[in-house]
Structure formats: C-alpha cells, structure tokens
Amino acid sequence: MGITRENVPVEETWNLEDIFLSEELWEEAFLSLESDLEQRLELEIMLKSSSDVLLAVKELENFLERLELTNSYARYKYSEDGTNEQNQTRMGRIQFLMSKANNVKTNYMNAFLSISAKNMEQYCEEEKELLEYQKFLSKIEEARKHILSPEMEDALASLDSTINSAERIYDSITSSDMKFESVQNKHGKDVPVSLFMYMTQIETSPDTVLRRNAYHSLSKGLDQYKHGIAKTLSTEIQKNVTLAKLRGYNSTFDMLLQHSSPTNFFLDADGISSQHFENILDTIRLELAPHMQRYAKLRKRQLGLEKLLFSDVKAPLDPNFDPPISFEEAGEIIIEAVGVLGDEYKELMKKAFKERWVYRGDNVGRNMIAFGGGVHGVHGYAFYPWGGNLFDMLLLGHELGHSLHFHLAHENQKIINNSMPLFFVEAPSTLIEHLIVQYLRQNRDDARLHRWLNMYLMMSYHHNFVTHILEAELLRRLYKMAEAKTPLTTSSISETKGAILSEFWGDTVEIDEAAKLTWMRQPHYYMGLYPYTYSVGLSASTVIAKRIHEEGLDAGLQWTEVLKQGGAMKGLNLFKMAGLDLSTTELFSDAVSYVGKIVDELEDSF
C-alpha cells in the first residue's frame, strides 16, 4: 500500500501556488468567473462593426485565460489524488463551469459566423488589431461549412460534459476503482501492481518471474472490468460516428483529423487527409514489423526463454544492467543535454527543477498516466511519479519536453490563437529523449551503457511506434466497423486487437487472451485519433535529433523558434519551418530504417 498524498514530501510535489496562492483565492476566481459567464449568457452578442468584433474577441480571450487558470488548478489537484473528496468536488464544479463556458464560447462562435467571410475580411482591414487574431478567425472560417444551427450548437455545448464523459469515466475507473493483486518477484518479495508501475517499471524489469506474475495480476484485474470499459469505448466511438454524420463529414476520420473535439471547434487537429492518415499507419506498421520481429527473436535468444510471451516483449536484453539514479542527478543530466537547443531553453529547464514544476510523488489516488503541459500566464508543469532509474530519467525528459513546449508557446502566443496542433505535439517531447541519449553517448565512456542506450531507444520506438501505432490501427478498424454498423462488443474489440498483434508480431511472440485486453490499458482511445501522433512526433524528432547532432547549435536554436509558434501554425507548417516535409511518407520510412540500424547494432553487440 502506497503513502497518502499528505505524506508526500514537499520537494516531490509541484508548486501550484504559482497558479493560485491558496484554495480560497481559487474559490474567489471560480465564483467571479462563474458569475461573469452567467451574465454573458443572458446578453445577446451584437457584432455590427469592426470595433464590435475586436471587443468580442478580447472578451472571449479574457474568459479563456481565466478558465485556463481555474480549470488547470482543479485538474492538477485531482491528478495528485483522485480519491480525495475535496478534489472530486472541485472537479465536479469545474465540469459544470466548463459546461457554461462551452455555451458562452458557442454563443461567440455563432456571433462570429453570422458575419460573412467577405465582411470579416473587410473588418480586419478596418481594424488592424484584428490581424493579431488571424489564427483564431481562420479557425472560425474553417468551421463554417460543418457548423449546425445556433440552437443545435448551443444544445451540444450544454451537453459537452456528458458527450465527452467517456475519458473521465475511464480515468475514474482506472485510478480509483481498479485494484490489482500484489505479486512476488524472483526473490519471493511482494511487489505492488498498478497500471502506471506496470507500464513504466515492471514491464521492463529484468526479473522474468516478476514480469510474468505482474502480467497475470494486471490481466486478472483488467478482466473484471472489461465489459464496462468495452461499453465505454463503444459509446465513445459511436458518439463520434454520429456527430461526424450530423456535421456532414464524409467519415469520422475526416472530422477527427480536422477538429480534435466534435463539440468544440475552438480546439484544433490538423486537417490532414484521411488518406494520408491511413498511409502513415500502413507505412510505419508494415515496414516496422520485420525489424521488431528480428528484435523479438534476439530478445528470446539473449534471455534464454523457451517462449517469448507478451509479458516479455519489453524485457531488457542485459538484465543485470539497471543503474539507479537520483532525481537530482537526472535533472543535471537533462539540463546539460538540452543545452544544444540554446541558452533560453536550457535556463527554462533549470527553472523546471529549481522551481518545482514537477509532481513526482508515488501516492495512493494519483493519476495513473504521466503527462506534461502548462498553464497560460504561469509556466509549464509535468506529472511523473519517480522510480529512480535511467528509464525514469528519459521518460521524465519526455514529459518536460511537453512542459517547455507549452511554456514557450504560452509566452509567445495569445491563448485564443494557441490551440496546439496534435500532428506536431509529440515531437518536442520525444526529441528530449534523443538529446539525453546523445549527451550520455558523448559524455560517458561505457560500452555497456551505450548498448543500454540503444536498448532504451528501442523501448521508446516500441512505445511510440509499436504500442501507439497499433492503438491507432485498432481505432481505424473499430471506427470502420462502427460506420458499417457492426456492433462493438467486448469480444469484437478484443479479437480485433488480438488480430492486429498477431499480424504485427507473426510467430515471434505468443499472443494470449490477456494480450488481447491491452486496449484497456491506455486512455488514448478517448482522445480522438491521438495515438498516431506519437509515431508522427517520434519520426520527426528522429530526423531533427540527427540534424542537431550534425549541425550543432544553429539547428537547435531553429527548433526552439519553432516551439515558440505553438498553435499559431498548423502541424505540417511547423514541421516545414523546421525544415521537414511530412506531407509524404518518405520521412516515416527513413525513421523506420533507423530502427532497423539500431537492431543491426544490437545484434552485433550481443
């Protein structure tokens, strides 16, 4: 049994006082915002001139800034401990507030859309300050052909919390309700099992007894919830299929690739074509499979296993090499590793450690999934329960990559323009992993460590290329099944997942019944088509890391400037600014080829 939140040392917590100095001040801000939103709902938004439009945009911007602060504080408190009644109540109140805010945002959306594109263009010429909000206004224009009547949009906004409840239900079940039996390791010592600890610590443990026992415990725990979570996932998918039809999209993919939320057009996806999305999936999945099957065979031989079970696919090839590292030393390494991105970026990373941007406590009720982000007008934040080994250092670096990306974007972009493009968002995080690996290779003369770094990269590619691309493939198949009116049941979801795993691994890995339940482990299925963006980001960061290694600081500074653009540009354009063309699949093939070279090196090293 873990410790409770109140017993987590202060240095292992993040400083939420930078958002609100006290819970009383949060309460004041909440009530003030709630009152203003309610008043705004009672007023008709009249836009008869360019000055009216500018005033409305600024009013909305103010609401978004205040909403960001109140919502972030509540979410972060809930992430610390979802079992705490006060945190639960605060989140419940925020959900009601978000519902009001969605109605207000929809009213503004309807008002802006009541102005023709031609007239809006004229207003921008008359009121030059409107040009500062061009990204936001372009989003409004993109939404025009898929918008419903003002009454319908208002009704959907009122139901937004309910319509988008699947992810919260999943999070609540996995963080608060789902329990797993403790297991014994090879020494007979009891080890607690949780989703997070399994995926970040146990799954990559050198202890085969522990891995397989924990896999059995995890699978047994998941099995007890499979019907309820299958219904939750089925409901989420059917919701999106229905809304895509309602909004006049040709397919659900078209909707989710254009807007990450079908009920909130203020959020962006990237607008890439469904065909390009499917081409990316096929390129990575089909070209990567032979390399990963070779790696699976190497793992089986090196570990001396008669069979390579699904619980063994991330086992280390050098079981006795797992050096511990303190959080402080990890911070020093990460800070030095990112120096190639310039002094500004390096100083921000120092702040992240010095000023407690990271929550690293491992307490009861905490969120099961690590994440990185930030609060507009404050700074970045990261959530990563710390385990104390090299693997943790690299994953912490990943989440801090998100944090600093959001921080730089928030500092340089207006909140109303800054809807982060999903197509780009995983590149800044995976790049930090590459930079840490490069730094250690250059500064540590240890052949065994260098080999471990290759194995870590393979773990990263496994997680982002294999795990997430196969999640995306499952979503592709399930959405097509739903559109064809094929019922999504526990059995059909699990069998589809099993078929995808079997196709990918061939005869190199034994796919058992428990492996078919891996769709229950991640919340990404409730986030549109988000899983595929990991593979996009890692493909891009693979190429960027190589360029920084070869060209040095100039390439790193260029990347930092790209990060400052935040959501002011589409993902494809951000990559273009960084010198990358992701409009074809050539770069993805290059990244997969790099994975093949790592497998070659590992085969030679053993």
> What is the CATH classification number for the domain harbouring 34?
1.20.140.70
* Alpha carbons 260 and 137: distance in angstroms, whole number: 17
235, part of any domain: yes
Of 28-32, 262-266, 367-371, give the lowest mean pLDDT range.
Answer: 262-266
Which tokens belong to 165? 């409840």
Longest Cα pair distance anywhere in the chain, in angstroms? 76
220 and 147 co-located in one domain = no
Question: 339 or 144, which is more confident?
Answer: 339
What pLDDT score was predicted for residue 367? 85
**Residue among 102, 112, 118, 13 at smallest CA distance from 57:** 112
574, part of any domain: no
Question: 505 or 266, which is more confident?
Answer: 505
Question: 420 or 291, which is more confident?
Answer: 291
Residue 176 has pLDDT above 80, yes or no: no
Kindly report the average pLDDT of the chain as a whole number. 93
Question: 324 or 174, which is more confident?
Answer: 324
144 and 223 co-located in one domain = no
80 and 27 co-located in one domain = yes
157 and 226 co-located in one domain = no
pLDDT-derived band at 262, boundaries 50, 70, 90: low
Which residue blocks in 304-389 are alpha helix, DSSP H? 327-337, 343-354
| Per-residue pLDDT tens digits for 48-107 | 999 999 999 999 999 999 999 999 999 999 999 999 999 999 999 998 999 899 889 989
Residue 263 has pLDDT above 70, yes or no: no
pLDDT-derived band at 167, boundaries 50, 70, 90: confident
**DSSP assignment of 394-406:** HHHHHHHHHHHHH
200 and 141 co-located in one domain = no
What pLDDT score was predicted for residue 143? 82
What pLDDT score was predicted for residue 392? 92
Domain boundary among the residues 482, 503, 526 is at 526
Please give the model's pTM, rounded to 2 decimal places.
0.89
Which tokens belong to 437? 């690996």
What pLDDT score was predicted for residue 269? 65
Element (H, E) at 412: helix 390-412
What residues make up the domain containing 147? Answer: 5-163
159 and 27 co-located in one domain = yes
Query: Domain tally for the chain?
Result: 2
pLDDT-derived band at 20, boundaries 50, 70, 90: very high
**DSSP assignment of 152-168:** HHHHHHHTHHHHT-HHH
107, part of any domain: yes
157 and 273 co-located in one domain = no
37 and 142 co-located in one domain = yes
Of 318-327, 329-338, 493-502, give the lowest mean pLDDT range.
Answer: 318-327
Alpha-carbon Rg for the chain in angstroms: 24
30 and 154 co-located in one domain = yes
| Per-residue pLDDT tens digits for 219-259 | 999 999 999 999 999 999 999 999 999 999 999 999 999 87
68 and 130 co-located in one domain = yes
Residues 6+ apart with CB under 8 A from 513: 219, 494
What pLDDT score was predicted for residue 261? 63
| Per-residue pLDDT tens digits for 390-439 | 989 999 999 999 999 999 999 999 999 998 888 999 999 999 999 999 99
Element (H, E) at 230: helix 226-246
| Per-residue pLDDT tens digits for 541-598 | 999 999 999 999 999 999 999 999 999 899 999 999 999 999 999 999 999 999 999 9
Q: What is the mean pLDDT of residues 339-352?
A: 98
Q: What is the mean pLDDT of residues 270-279?
A: 90
- Looking at the chain, the number of H-run helices and the number of E-run strands are 24, 5
Q: What is the mean pLDDT of residues 465-470?
A: 93
Length of the chain (residues): 606
222 and 89 co-located in one domain = no
Domain boundary among the residues 113, 147, 163 is at 163
> What is the CATH classification number for the domain harbouring 233?
1.10.1370.20
Q: Do 164 and 445 meet the contact criterion of CB atoms below 8 Å apart?
A: no
